[in-house]
Amino acid sequence: MKKVALLVLLGAAALLPIKYGVAQERAALAITVKDHRFEPAELRAPANRPISISVKNADSAPIEFESVSLRVEKVIGPGASGTVNVRPLAPGRYEFFDDFHQQTRGTLVVQ
C-alpha cells in the first residue's frame, strides 16, 4: 500500500510543473562589472520567463548588484562571479545598480 501511495504522489508531483507552468526554462544572461561600469549596460530578456543573470566582477573592489524593482541584491567580491535569479517579469524596463558605487547603473529590458 505504501508503494502505491508513493507512486501516486510521485506521479502527481511530476505533473505539477506541466499543469502550472512551473517548468519554464530560465533565460540566461551575463554581465561584467569593469572600471565601475556594467558591460553591457543594457540586458534584454523575454517576458514571463525566469531569468538567471551571471554577474562577473572584474574590478578590484567588491560590488553589490542591486535592484529595487527586481527585488534582488547580491554582494560579489573582487575577481569573483555570482548568479542572480529573477522571477518571471512583465514587459518593461528594470533598473539595477552597484550599491557600493552608485554611479554604476544598468537596465534590464524585458519584452
Measured CA to CA, the distance from residue 79 to residue 63 in angstroms comes to: 10
pLDDT of 24: 78
pTM of the model: 0.77
Q: Would you list the domain boundaries of the chain?
A: 24-110
Measured CA to CA, the distance from residue 99 to residue 45 in angstroms comes to: 23
Q: What are 56-81's pLDDT values in tens digits?
A: 999 999 999 999 999 999 999 999 99
User: How many angstroms separate the most distant Cα atoms in the chain?
Assistant: 63
> Is pLDDT above 80 for 43?
yes
When pLDDT is cut at 50, 70 and 90, the band that residue 15 belongs to is low
| Stretch 46-54: mean pLDDT | 98
Q: CATH assignment of 24-110, given 1.20.1270.360, 2.60.40.420, 3.40.50.2000, 3.40.50.720? A: 2.60.40.420
**What is the per-residue DSSP string for 3-46?**
HHHHHHHHHHHHHHHHHHT--PPPEEEEEEEETTEEESSEEEE-
